[in-house]
Structure 1
Amino acid sequence: MKKLLALLPMLSFSALLTAVQPALAQAPAANPALPNIKILATGGTIAGAGVSSTQYAGYQAAVTPVDKLLAAVPELSKVANVTGEQIAQVASHNMTGDILLKLAQRVNVLLASKDVDGVVITHGTNTLEESAYFLNLVVKSSKPVVMVGAMRPGTSMSADGPMNIFRSVITAGSKDAHGRGVMVVMNDQIIGARDLHKTDTMTVDTFKAPVFGYLGFVVDGKTHFYKPAARKHTTATEFDVTGLTSLPKVDIVLGYEDDSRTAIDALVAAGAKGIVHAGAGTASVSAAVQPGILDAVARKVAVVRSPRASLGIITRNMEFDDDKFGTISGDTLNPPKARILLMLALTKTSDPKEIQRMFDMY
Structure 2
Amino acid sequence: MRKTWSVLGLSLSLLLPLNSWAKNHVVVVATGGTIAGAGASASNSATYTAAKVPVQQLINAIPQLKELADVSGVQALQIASESITDKELLSVARQVNSLLKKPDVHGVVITHGTDTLEETAFFLNLVIASDKPIVLVGAMRPATALSADGPLNLYSAVALAASDSARGKGVLVMMNDNIYAARDVSKSINIHTDAFQSQWGALGSVVEGKTYWFRQVSKRFNQQSEFNIENIQGDQLPNVQIVYAATNMSPDAYLAYAKNGAQAIIHAGTGNGSVAAQIVPTLKQLQQQGIQIVRASRVAAGFVLRNAEQPDDQYGWVVAHDLNPQKARILTALALTKSKDAKQLQTMFWEY
Band of TM-score, shorter chain: over 0.9
User: Which of 202, 215, 234 does residue 227 from structure 1 map onto?
Assistant: 215
For residue 167 of structure 2, what is the aligned residue in structure 1? 178
For residue 98 of structure 2, what is the aligned residue in structure 1? 109
Answer whether contact 1:145 1:172 (CA < 8 A) is retained.
Answer: yes
For residue 85 of structure 1, what is the aligned residue in structure 2? 74
SS at 1:230 equivalent? coil
For residue 15 of structure 2, what is the aligned residue in structure 1? none
For residue 136 of structure 1, what is the aligned residue in structure 2? 125
Answer whether contact 1:250 1:272 (CA < 8 A) is retained.
Answer: yes
SS at 1:41 equivalent? strand
Answer whether contact 2:270 2:298 (CA < 8 A) is retained.
Answer: yes
Answer whether contact 1:154 1:161 (CA < 8 A) is retained.
Answer: yes
Q: Match for 1:321: what amino acid? A: P
User: Which of 106, 125, 148 does residue 159 from structure 1 map onto?
Assistant: 148
Answer whether contact 1:250 1:343 (CA < 8 A) is retained.
Answer: yes
Does residue 195 of structure 2 align to residue 206 of structure 1? yes
Question: d(CA) in 2 for partners of 1:213 and 1:180?
Answer: 15
User: Which of 291, 298, 302 does residue 292 from structure 2 map onto?
Assistant: 302
Q: Deviations over 1:90-147 (max 9, x none)?
A: 1110011011111111111111111100000000000111111111111110010000
Q: Match for 1:236: what amino acid? A: Q
User: Which of 260, 266, 272 does residue 276 from structure 1 map onto?
Assistant: 266
Does residue 229 of structure 2 align to residue 241 of structure 1? yes
Answer whether contact 1:38 1:84 (CA < 8 A) is retained.
Answer: yes
Q: Match for 2:314: what amino acid? A: K
Counting only pairs closer than 5 Å after superposition, residues 1-362 of structure 1 correspond to structure 2 as 32-209=21-198, 211-242=199-230, 243-245=232-234, 246-362=236-352
Structure 1 segments of 4+ aligned residues over 6 angstroms from their partners? none
SS at 1:281 equivalent? coil
Question: Following TM superposition, by how much is the alpha carbon of 1:32 offset from its aligned partner in structure 2, in angstroms?
Answer: 4.1
Q: Deviations over 1:257-293 (max 9, x none)?
A: 1112111001000111111000001001111111110
Answer whether contact 1:261 1:291 (CA < 8 A) is retained.
Answer: no
Question: Following TM superposition, by how much is the alpha carbon of 1:319 offset from its aligned partner in structure 2, in angstroms?
Answer: 1.3
Q: Match for 1:296: what amino acid? A: L
Question: d(CA) in 1 for partners of 2:193 and 2:59?
Answer: 20
- In angstroms, what is the RMSD of aligned CA positions? 1.3
TM-score (norm 1): 0.90
Question: d(CA) in 2 for partners of 1:30 and 1:185?
Answer: 29
The structure in which a higher percent of residues are helix is 1
For residue 14 of structure 1, what is the aligned residue in structure 2? none
Question: Following TM superposition, by how much is the alpha carbon of 1:31 offset from its aligned partner in structure 2, in angstroms?
Answer: 8.3
SS at 1:70 equivalent? helix
SS at 2:102 equivalent? coil
Answer whether contact 2:100 2:108 (CA < 8 A) is retained.
Answer: yes
Answer whether contact 2:45 2:146 (CA < 8 A) is retained.
Answer: no
SS at 1:84 equivalent? strand
Q: Match for 1:76: what amino acid? A: L
Question: d(CA) in 1 for partners of 2:20 and 2:187?
Answer: 36
Q: Match for 2:323: what amino acid? A: L
Q: CA, structure 1 residues 58+31, in 2 after alignment: closer, same or farther (shift >3 Å)?
A: farther
Question: d(CA) in 2 for partners of 1:31 and 1:311?
Answer: 48
SS at 1:195 equivalent? coil
Question: Following TM superposition, by how much is the alpha carbon of 1:30 offset from its aligned partner in structure 2, in angstroms?
Answer: 7.9
Unpaired runs of 5+ residues, structure 2, are 1-17
Number of residue pairs aligned between Structure 1 and Structure 2? 333
Question: Following TM superposition, by how much is the alpha carbon of 1:327 offset from its aligned partner in structure 2, in angstroms?
Answer: 0.7
Question: Following TM superposition, by how much is the alpha carbon of 1:33 offset from its aligned partner in structure 2, in angstroms?
Answer: 2.9
Answer whether contact 1:134 1:340 (CA < 8 A) is retained.
Answer: yes
Unpaired runs of 5+ residues, structure 1, are 1-28
Q: CA, structure 1 residues 31+120, in 2 after alignment: closer, same or farther (shift >3 Å)?
A: farther
Answer whether contact 2:46 2:141 (CA < 8 A) is retained.
Answer: no
Question: d(CA) in 1 for partners of 2:87 and 2:19?
Answer: 33
Question: Following TM superposition, by how much is the alpha carbon of 1:241 offset from its aligned partner in structure 2, in angstroms?
Answer: 1.9
Q: Match for 1:290: what amino acid? A: V
**Residue identity (%):** 45
For residue 7 of structure 1, what is the aligned residue in structure 2? none
Question: d(CA) in 1 for partners of 2:180 and 2:282?
Answer: 37
Question: Following TM superposition, by how much is the alpha carbon of 1:57 offset from its aligned partner in structure 2, in angstroms?
Answer: 3.8
